[in-house]
Structure 1
């Protein structure tokens, strides 16, 4: 009797999976036919809302009906639980495991005992980054892993090269960002800068500064010292 029940449950699961795969195939086919940009869909998943499916292309989230005949882009909100499901999904997709960051492609700036960890992606010509750096001097007992992320043009690439190739990278960076002293010309292997851009593209780092904390949480923009302190404390909690 138990065997028959298990067989019935397995049959229901198999039928459900087959229906889900068929539904996904219909959505993929119809969207690809109507919109060339959807020829390469990364993922189709059912949402908590009846009849609504999430369509993911890279880090872009769209929503469609069961036949792929209508398309929406925007935030899907769970009103009852006060949650932004779209925002949560993007955060999950772009999450970075701190322990897997390519730290050899960054240089360290240690303040105080340096026990807390923070990774930052910054462009040397980013005005918000300069403001952030000035404010960050008020945060103590932290090791900052600075990833040069030149995305604002050729001069950003040049300045990043000169900073990366300097004998004292941290000093060259601070001299420029805090004291406006242009880094001296220098030459070396700058493959790390290319890898940083590739890493940023892979993990949806679209602006500078972008902060990544020890627990994998991230914050875009010139976050204040007070907010950085709060997030460093939160990142240490189990």
Structure 2
């Protein structure tokens, strides 16, 4: 079976017996070519919950497409029978797997009595990111471990992108993050780092601003949440 089919099977998005690997590869190559016309890179493709459509995971989030790739849908699709936002439901396993694979590249603020782990795409220049960070003890005291992932809002090559590389490459990346969130300058430090990969990952989730909170379920919450409100949501999942 090809690499794409194996990836999708691991996500639970397709049944490996539903089609031959060669047929899937041929069909999906056509989809990839069609999406390139609108500057979208296809990361994965699977049958959608709606008959006649595919769900296409791209470098800019999830889209739904006709089988030949001629038409695609940008926007939310609801399952009224089950009262479910399909975009969110289909993205969750994709987000979970990608975030789990990036655990070692995060900057972690661990709760002493850990009950939950959230991943937060952050930018030190973002006001609400700074507000969230100023309350990091509140999250930890509530049993919430916070793992930061990089999302420089100015994009690759921006001043913040360079700053975030310095943070991740510092000998003490947590101290560097604290300083950056306080508005202090960060001493230059360069190394092999995950900033670019994490930024591109966030874009593939459909993230376009910070903070963006990834719940353990894979649910994405855009924007700041105080510890008490976030804890209530975690408990309800």
TM-score by length of 2: 0.64
What SS is found at the alignment partner of 1:95?
Answer: helix
What is the CA–CA distance in structure 2 between the aligned matches of 1:227 and 1:161, rounded to whole Å? Answer: 31
What is the CA–CA distance in structure 2 between the aligned matches of 1:132 and 1:145, rounded to whole Å? Answer: 12
Deviations 1:154-176 (A, max 9, x none): 22123223333444332332233
Deviations 1:116-169 (A, max 9, x none): 422222111122312322344422133322223324252212322333344433
| Residue matched to 1:100 | 101
Structure 2: segments with no counterpart, 5+ residues: 1-17
Alignment coverage as a number of residue pairs: 210
Deviations 1:28-79 (A, max 9, x none): 979978x944998753636446xx4235262332354x88776554333222
| Residue matched to 2:8 | none
Contact in 2 for aligned 1:124/1:148 (Cα 8 Å): no
Q: Cα distance 1:85–1:149, how it changes in 2: closer, same or farther (>3 A)?
A: closer
| Residue matched to 1:121 | 121
| Residue matched to 1:56 | 56
What SS is found at the alignment partner of 1:62?
Answer: strand
Contact in 2 for aligned 1:94/1:204 (Cα 8 Å): no
Q: Return the index of the structure with the highest Cα Rg.
A: 1
| Residue matched to 1:213 | 215
| Residue matched to 1:156 | 160
Shift of the alpha carbon at 1:113? 3.4
Shift of the alpha carbon at 1:182? 0.9
| Residue matched to 2:14 | none
TM-score by length of 1: 0.64
Higher relative contact order (CA 8 A, sep 6+): 2
Aligned-residue CA RMSD (Å): 4.1
Residues 19-34 of structure 1 correspond to what in structure 2 (within 5 A)? none
Contact in 1 for aligned 2:152/2:160 (Cα 8 Å): yes
Contact in 2 for aligned 1:54/1:62 (Cα 8 Å): yes
Structure 1: segments with no counterpart, 5+ residues: 1-15
